[in-house]
Chain A
Amino acid sequence: MDQSKQTGWAAFIVRTRWLWLVLGLAVTVAMGTGLGKLGFNPDARVFFAEENPDRIALDSFEAQFSKDDNLILVMNAKEGGLFEPDILAAIGELTEKAWLLPHVRRVDSLTNFQHTYAIGDEMIVEDLVPDLLAVTPEVAANARKIALSRPELLDVMIDPTGRYGAMQVMFRLPGISPETEVPMIVEETQALAAQFRAEYPEIELRLTGSVMINNQFAVSGQDDGMTLTPMMFGAILLIVLFAFRSVVGVLMTVTVIAMSAVIGLGALGWSGVALNSVTVLAPLIIMTLAVASVVHVLASVRQTMMETPDRKEWARVALAEHGGEIAVACITTAIGFLALNFSISPPFRQLGNVVAVGVMGALFLTLTFLPALIAIIPMKRREALATTDRFMRPIAEFVIGWRKPLLVVMSLLVVALASGIPRLALEDDFVRYFDDRYEFRRDTDYFEQNLGGLNILEYALPAGRSDGINDPQYLASVKEFTDWLRDQPEVTHVRSMTDVIQRLNMNMHADDPAMMKLPETEQAAAQFLFLYELSLGYGMDLTDQINVDRSAMRISVSMAEATTKQMLALDAKAQDWMVENAPQIAVAPTGMSQVFNLIAYRDVRAMLTGTVLALVAISLLLLLILRDVKLGLISLIPNLIPAAMAFGIWGYSVGAVTLAIAVVIAMTLGIVVDDTVHFLSKYKEGKRKGMTPEDAIRYTFSKVGMALFVTTFALVAGFAILSTSGFAVNGDMAKLTALTITLALVADFLLLPALLITIDRRETMKASTPPRTATTTTTTAALGAILALGMLAMPNPASAQSAEAKGLAIVQEAERRDLGWGDFTNDGEMILRDSSGNETRRVWRGMNLERPAQAGEGDWSVIVFSAPRDIDGTATLTQAKIEPSDDDQWLYLPAVKRVKRISSSNRTGKFVGSEFSFEDLGSQEVEDNTYRWLRDEACPGLPSLSCFVIEGYPKNAKSGYSKRISWVDAQEYRQHKTEFYNRRGDLEKTLSATGHEQYLGKYWRPARLDMVNHQTGKSTTLLQSNYAFRTGLSDGDFNAQRLPRLSR
């Protein structure tokens, strides 16, 4: 580093101190205005990136069946069990009331269980407790007998003793304002529970389920923010006060670190991403890291003040002597955190980015704003050596004197500790993310101990064809699989439709117990199910068990208190079983638990790249700064072994670790490097001044020893406070980080000096090649172990299939049937008519490219106009995105040969003056709307065809419509008619599609679309012809820069 340049820079900052004071504040305020934009996203699914294959599988599964946003009410009748007449009545009443909770979709309870039996030839389906007002002891006893005999209920809704029962409330969350929906449900449920407890004190009632989990993510996030922040501030104040004995110094520190946090968080606000239970820690991490920078400046000030009373000189010296190292330290820290972008879990990516911005903010403030403050604000001058500085000399002497034993002992210690790494077990269980300080965790444990498990593996067993689930052979396979699963000791409950179907068969045979088996023909199975569905009560349908086209059935396997390892092991067994016994139904499991099961495994692999890149970048930076290959290589040792040792210690002591582990190396790498940078650059400086290695070590300790000690202490204190979080992901991350940083200081103080002296001694004794020491070998071994950990083989998940509500399922089926067309070209013509019938025309050529189903992307299209003639050659390229993202769109103007990116935020504008708005013509993706099936009826204009009538509600507020109603035929899933309702809710336009033709034997396209605007009397006819599919178009044909070439 060029010392004179640094001195000049320092003098410049001090001279223009007022400017920097104002500038620092201005930057903070400017970034800080982003704070107002911060929201909080409590959804547990924030941990799953859109592109996470497990999440894609889960989304697809939930689309076919149902998204299980549920609440479980666990009941315990303290005496005598639940099957007392008054208690059953109370449960019945609670069931009725639960139907009134917000966003309720379905309530399953003991009392409304759909019981089937036969009276003669007739099958009866009715609630287990049909009349809540007349629950006699006989009815109750009968209910008990039935409930305890039914596999659908036993061990999930009722325990074998009849004491513990559960009620399950399913919700359909609109997802419009995630920060209020869940809390609202929880609030109302808790009110309902309180009322129930007051009325029936003899019944114990507890709440759990996925809604409670989500709520818990929000609660613990807020908890962490509220309780940890003041602790953090307190700890920092104490440390700085103790180290420097200066109130002004403390105030300066607090100002700078708070401003840094504001800059980081403000950036998050500006980026429009909501906080979540991980990023809520970002301000605390930023402040902890910022303290380290500030302390270096203050420590230097503390030393300079002994020599001169000139405050400006204090600031100048601090900047000139430490500015470079502080900058390097901050930049390496930022690199480490930026590496978190490789994580598969978005909260960690966001955390990395926010902290990186905050750290760079801290760097800016430490190098400008802080020196300005020091030069401006009077600080009490102390002329005695600081207490902590006095500790440094003995440490230096100890290390120098005992370096050989230290080397041996430290090397052995590193090997011993790192050998604990293989003991680490990746363990992600969203229930056990929260420790038992939370009521949610206690209630959930209670549920799992007495009834079922919240950890559920979902198998959507494919039947291979529509209506295939009625195939006797398929049903037999499913039943065998169900029975096999029930034989597994870790499984508490298996939910399978085969139970119902067997019972229906018995009912249809006059309740003959011998007929408690699967129907023998496909026809019988279909018929029984049909009869059963017809008789089911409101909201009790089978759509969450069987998908819409009846090509798959769902099996839900519950396990209580199962670990990730146990679940993966069970699935491995299940896969073996399926391959051997029923390969046609073999499918990979999904479900929230399964996504969490695999997330750490995926993240460790994903972060491997990030960590290696960060290591390379940071090492190169160090080489550049130290300008010394030998020192650069040596620096790897204290940079890497702390993490290896910390992981090893964790492996021996705790073992189980959450996905937080994946990001720890990258995170800590950037932090621990700081110590190494400060240490090595001062050591090199000492050597340059002609000192012996021993004296250089003494010099280094005296210059930066105290600062390193104080910063490490502050960092460890900060992360130790974070580690008290009741949320295991954050807790693990903080604990591992604190441990790593502590070990880094140990390595820097005890191992690094010994290493440096030993190597430099040998060199002076003409042993020219630096030997490969025991420590380097160990490091390599430890690194290898970490890498190996990441490679741990785990079963590969495959995606599942099917629907949620019928509407969505139909739309998805329509979409599914239109998948795989690849590309097509066609000719388009629009005939625009005003209310008096005057016509004008638009003519174009179109090119369309189907994009593989990737998150957030829609299809690509190019339109080249040929009439009216004055716009001949004008072309547009659209690369569609899923709502609410705007599409990417370019316009080519042939007159000036210009390609221009244009805004596509205008959804409601009219396409070339027609009655089609941009959103009508844009690529319509399933995810753009939410749907509701209304009814089935004859198709408009085609009475022989039956049509689904579906209502769709746009998710994007910019849409011009409040809803669309579409008629889709049940045979080929073609759209025949769509009604568009404007934002006021009035019918605005009707679109009719006619002349459908099928291409490639699969894909239907209408030849003619007529859009009539009822409000204005105008209409537009769109004719599309000359379709050519799979013409070999590629991405390169849809490149904006190529539009001039495409336009002809």
Chain B
Amino acid sequence: MMAKHVLRSGQGAGAWGLGGLCTALALSTAPAMADEMLGADFAELRGEASVEAILFPDDPLFPGQEDQSLSFAFEPTGILEWNSVEGLGGADVTATIRPFFRVDTQDDARTHADLREAKVDLRFGDTDVTIGNDIVFWGKTEVDQIVDIVNQVDGVEGTDGEDKLGQPMVAVRRIVEAGAFSGQASAFYFPYFRERTFLGTESRLRNGIVVDGNDARYETGAEEWTPSFAARLAGFYGDVDAGLHVFHGLSRDPAFEFTSPTSLRPVYGRITQIGLDAQYTSGATLWKAEAIGRFDQRNLAFEKEDYAAAIAGVEHTLYGIGDSNADLGLIAEYAYDSRGSNALTPFENDAVIGARLALNDTQDSSALFTAAIDTETAETVLRLEAERRLGDSFKLEIVGQAFFNTDEASLFNSLRDDHSLRITLSAFW
């Protein structure tokens, strides 16, 4: 039944996901590998299955939208590990496959599948090589990571942009030790481009004008086979952790053009980005900053513009508040984008304050509250996330989200009635 949904969704993401799955299957069934598989030094199959309900207290703004949504997700992970493989120069080899499936009973756009990971990691001493689909995280700040460019956003999974699609890549990483600096230098080659997934007409939390993700246009001849490249140096020196990167290739952030007065399509063009992310750890206080300069990116007005963006902030943790075991983390960040109202991101001149409470009990109960406030328009997004483990293998997560000051001119205008409460119950094995 899952497979049927995958086929039916017909989206680019789904298609690639399936393609990747086939590749992985082909790899794993190759006769040469069969003997090795039996000889694996470590093998594990684990996973997570969840049921998610989203409730919208206000009536929907657009026809076809519903007041609630119920969906199921399934994410198994398979790992095989071989130590010191002779034929590969004594490398340690790990093969990982992690597909992801979601079936939404109300919203067809959210029913999708992806290969989050389908990769082989090879380790030669201080050098690591990764081949296949993988997710790579870059960044230091909490609310948004502007430097995090490797993976495409899975736009139908959540609204916070933290869910990413698996990116096909060849990555070579090498440990770098220079004096007191310790870190890793990495070079990436991305042969294939992942298109963003977009919510459909019946989805809540969608843009006023629907984006047709399947109608994407490329400004490069090779389209999704346009290669991208990146290099990164990340590590730490004393109390400072920092990363530097350069990226050249298709922008993960599409610009949009109208195909009809009620329809937009994403346009992907080639960009170059350089960026820096850093964190200074001073006792219980973490100072964080990210900055990028990006060239040739089309903005909201569909003009090519070179721009700079930065996020800086601080996180301070109060340990053992009120003589309990609970810790309270206070977060303040500010995001700036030189494109101003032409930015493709809502975080163009925004202050974010937040608090993270961790009870440090045996059930790892924790809560995160954030308020993102646009310093010019006063648009405000409030968000509360709370989670707690139930027993040994279940987890309950509740996310509430509300939008304020969403007037006509606001990017969030179409979300003004989409205050929501999401409840997720997950099982792990």
Contact = CB atoms under 8 A, between A and B. Distances in A.
B281 A901 contact: yes
A897 B162 CA distance: 11
Contacts of B139: 898
Which of B94, B123, B360, B393 has the most chain A CB atoms closer than 10 A to its own CB?
A: B360
A868 B125 contact: no
Interface of A: 832, 834, 840-841, 867-872, 886, 888, 896-903, 905-906, 908-910, 912-913, 1035-1036, 1039-1042, 1045, 1048
Interface stretch (B175-183, B299-307, B404-412): B175-183
B98 to A, nearest CB: 10
Interface string B255-288: 0000000000000000000000001010111100
A52 B162 CA distance: 49
Interface in B376-429: 389, 392-393, 395, 426, 428-429
Interface centre among B46, B135, B325, B362 (most CB of A within 10 A): B362
Interface stretch (B2-10, B27-35, B233-241): B233-241
Given A868-B392, A897-B137, A910-B360, 12 more contacts: A867-B392, A872-B46, A901-B241, A903-B283, A905-B284, A906-B327, A909-B360, A1036-B125, A1040-B241, A1041-B173, A1041-B183, A1045-B121
Contacts of A1035: 177, 182
A696 B125 CA distance: 63
B320 interface: yes
Contact of B393 (A869, A898, A903, A910): A869
Given A840-B392, A896-B162, A1048-B79, A906 B284 contact: yes
Given A869-B429, A901-B286, A913-B362, A1048 B241 contact: no
B11 to A, nearest CB: 23
Contact of A1045 (B123, B162, B281, B319): B123
B317 interface: yes
A1042 B174 CA distance: 10
Contact of A896 (B137, B175, B360): B137
Contacts, number: 108
A273 to B, nearest CB: 15
23 contacts: A832-B362, A840-B362, A840-B392, A841-B392, A870-B428, A872-B428, A897-B135, A902-B281, A903-B285, A906-B327, A909-B325, A910-B360, A913-B325, A1035-B177, A1036-B125, A1036-B126, A1039-B235, A1040-B183, A1040-B235, A1041-B184, A1042-B128, A1048-B79, A1048-B94
B182 A903 contact: no
Given A840-B392, A901-B279, A1048 B81 contact: yes
Interface in B323-347: 325, 327
A841 B81 CA distance: 26
Contacts of B94: 1045, 1048
A673 B209 CA distance: 68
A903 B389 contact: no
Contacts of B182: 1035, 1039-1040
Given A896-B137, A905-B284, A1036-B125, A888 B428 contact: no
B175 A905 contact: no
Contacts of B234: 1041
Contacts of B44: 1048
- If over half of A's interface residues share one DSSP class (helix, strand or loop), that class is named, otherwise mixed; here it is mixed
Contacts of B279: 901
Q: B48, B281, B284, B327: which has the most chain A beta carbons within 10 Å?
A: B281
B136 interface: yes
B361 interface: yes
Nearest to A913: B362
A840 to B, nearest CB: 5
A1045 B96 CA distance: 11
Interface of B: 42, 44, 46, 48, 79, 81, 94, 121, 123, 125-126, 128, 135-137, 139-140, 162, 173, 175, 177, 182-184, 234-236, 239, 241, 279, 281, 283-286, 317, 319-320, 325, 327, 360-364, 389, 392-393, 395, 426, 428-429
A428 to B, nearest CB: 29
A898 B283 CA distance: 21
Given A868-B428, A871-B364, A896-B162, A903 B281 contact: yes
A373 to B, nearest CB: 34
A1036 B241 contact: no
Contacts of B135: 897
Contacts of B360: 909-910, 913
Contacts of A1040: 182-183, 235-236, 241
A1039 B175 contact: yes
A1041 B360 CA distance: 26
A1041 B325 CA distance: 30
A899 B277 CA distance: 13
Contacts of A871: 364
Nearest to A871: B364
Contacts of B241: 901, 1040
A140 B130 CA distance: 88
B398 to A, nearest CB: 15
Given A897-B137, A906-B317, A1039-B183, A913 B392 contact: no
Contacts of A899: 137
Nearest to B116: A897
A833 to B, nearest CB: 10
Contacts of A886: 283
B362 A898 contact: no
A1041 B138 CA distance: 11
Nearest to B44: A1048
A868 B395 CA distance: 10
Nearest to A905: B283
Nearest to A867: B392
Nearest to B283: A905
B160 to A, nearest CB: 11
A888 B393 contact: no
Contacts of A868: 389, 392-393, 428
Given A870-B428, A898-B137, A909-B320, A1036 B325 contact: no
A805 B400 CA distance: 60
A870 B184 contact: no
Contacts of A912: 364
A867 B123 CA distance: 26
Nearest to A1048: B79
A899 B183 CA distance: 12
A805 B92 CA distance: 49
Contacts of B48: 870
A908 B393 contact: no
A1045 B389 contact: no
B183 A870 contact: no
A888 B286 CA distance: 13
A834 B183 CA distance: 41
Contacts of A840: 362, 392
Nearest to A897: B137
Contacts of A872: 46, 428
A906 B320 CA distance: 9
A897 B163 CA distance: 11
Q: Which of A870, A872, A1035, A1040 has the most CB of B within 10 A?
A: A870
Nearest to B128: A1045
Contacts of B137: 896-899
Nearest to A914: B362
Contacts of B140: 900
Contacts of A896: 137, 162
Contacts of A841: 392
A163 to B, nearest CB: 58
A294 B214 CA distance: 69
Nearest to A909: B319
A888 B236 contact: yes
A112 to B, nearest CB: 49
B364 A913 contact: yes
A910 B362 CA distance: 10
B233 to A, nearest CB: 10
A543 B3 CA distance: 78
Contact of A909 (B46, B327, B362, B429): B327
